[in-house]
Amino acid sequence: MARTDATATRGESEPLLSIENLQTAFFTDKEVIRAVDGVSFDIERGETVGVVGESGSGKSVTARSIMGLVDSPGRVLEGSSIRFDGEELTDKSEKEYRSIRGGDIAMVFQDPLTSLNPVYTVGNQIKESLRLHQDMRGAEATEEAIDLLEAVGIPDAARRVNEYPHEFSGGMRQRAVIAMALACDPELLICDEPTTALDVTIQAQILELLDDIQEERDLAIMFITHDMGVIAEISDRVNVMYAGEIVETAPVEELFANPRHPYTEGLLNSIPGNQPGADRLETIEGDVPTPNEPATYCRFEPRCPKAFEECTRVHPEPVAVTDGADDHTAACLLYPEDVSEAEAVELHERRGDGEEVTDR
């Protein structure tokens, strides 16, 4: 596939995390919800990949699918591939997965107050991680826990390690959660809206902290949020998700400078302050649909200002936006933009059918 070729030409090393055609669905009595419907992207070592989208776009489910935390009635479907550090995660047993969770891939959640167990001290919870993955116990573990707390910028760490979560302030708590996630020196840190519940000044501190940690430990970060401003600050590359699919991928400056997918354009335009001089705030009309049926059409079409007839008939695949722009892809029938409309639609159709396509 052209995709693999593109990856091979990008660099010698394999990406740390390679997701291909990830599909996660929830099977309830009433309906099937395809929360993640064919998502593919990579994360290189040491880079920060942002995943942005509205509520309901499938970002969190993607993260949980990577971690193997999808519980019934949902499951990761056949045909999905999650390759981490050369190993296929979907094949792993629950026990093997557990050693990866926390040890190689760690996750930080949204609400730090409820993310920590209220009846145990912070130190106890960090040491639990250390004991599970590095078999560290006793005084050695306590030392390490104190070091970690200091590394995330919590003052007076030696005293704090014996305190309970409710004795920490909001920002401190999130730092403690990050410390806990870093306890076993993971290679990939997944952050699911870690700053949404914090106020703006604390948010800035946490983002700075993540930046520092990334540099120190060569940590790859997958950062999920709905806040475009945060994405701009922290990501190297960005994936935009909508209704369970990735609709655009690009390096961060490129995305903000030249958004291609109409949805991304809409997102950027709706940031208050992006339209100085305008009378009203711009919005994207309508709501995110709940994807039930397999996508044989463009899911954004009902809300898209640039929709045309073919959009209801053909499913857009991720294609390079212009010839040769391999790192900027968009899943929209308007692209690649340097060919005619009819040719582009045909390209999407053929891609969707899975035929070999020569690079144009």
Partner 1 sequence: MSRWQYFGKRLLLSVPVLVFGASITFLVIRAGPLDPVSAIIGPQGDPQAYNRIREQLGLNEPLWRQYIDYMVDLFTFQLGESWVVQPERDVYSLLASYAPRTIWLGFWSVLIAVFIGIPLGFYAGLNPNTFSDYLASFGGIVWRAMPNFWLAVILMSVLSQSQSLFGFSWQNWLYETNVTGPPPLPGDLVTLLTSPDHFFPALKKIAPAAIVLGSASMGNEMRIGRTAVLETVNSNFIETAKAKGVPPRSLVWKHIFRNALIPLVPIITGEAFLLIGGSVLVETVFNISGIGYLFFQGIQNGDMPLVGSLMFVFILLVVVINIVQDLLYTIIDPRVGYDGGA
How many CA atoms lie less than 13 Å away from 73 in the CB half-sphere? 9
> Among 77, 132, 204, 307, which residue sits at the site for partner 1 (rule: CB under 8 A)?
132
CB of 64 to partner 1, least distance (A): 9
Segment near partner 1 (CB under 8 A); pick from 128-136, 253-261, 278-286, 310-318: 128-136
Considering the complex, what minimum distance in angstroms separates the CB of residue 166 from partner 1?
A: 5
Q: Are 49 and 223 in contact (CB under 8 A)?
A: yes
Closest CB to partner 1 among residues 107, 234? 107
Q: Please give the radius of gyration of the chain, using alpha carbons only, rounded to the nearest integer.
A: 21
| Interaction residues for partner 1, span 152-211 (CB under 8 A) | 164, 166, 177, 180
- Number of C-alpha atoms within 13 angstroms, CB side, residue 328? 20
The region of 108-116, 208-216, 268-276, 277-285 touching partner 1 under the rule CB under 8 A is: 108-116
Tokens encoding 349: 């159709």
Q: Kindly state whether residue 129 participates in binding partner 1, applying the rule CB under 8 A.
A: yes
Looking at the Cβ atoms of 7 and 196, the one nearer to partner 1 is: 196
- Which of 165, 117, 162, 112 is closest to 142 using CA atoms? 162
In the complex with partner 1, the residue whose CB is nearer, 82 or 304, is: 82
Segment interacting with partner 1, rule: CB under 8 A, options 83-91, 117-125, 202-210, 265-273:
117-125
With H, G, I as helix, E, B as strand and everything else as coil, classify residue 33: strand
Asked if residue 99 binds partner 1 (CB under 8 A), the reply is yes
Biggest alpha carbon distance in the chain?
69
Question: How many residues are recorded in the chain?
Answer: 360
**Would you say 331 and 319 are in contact if contact means Cβ atoms under 8 Å apart?**
yes
CA–CA separation, 237 vs 50, rounded Å? Answer: 6
First to last CA, the chain: 13
Site for partner 1 in 63-92 (CB under 8 A): 67, 69
For partner 1, the closer of residues 52 and 106 by Cβ is 106
> Residues interacting with partner 1, by CB under 8 A?
67, 69, 98-103, 106-107, 109, 111, 114-120, 128-129, 132-133, 164, 166, 177, 180
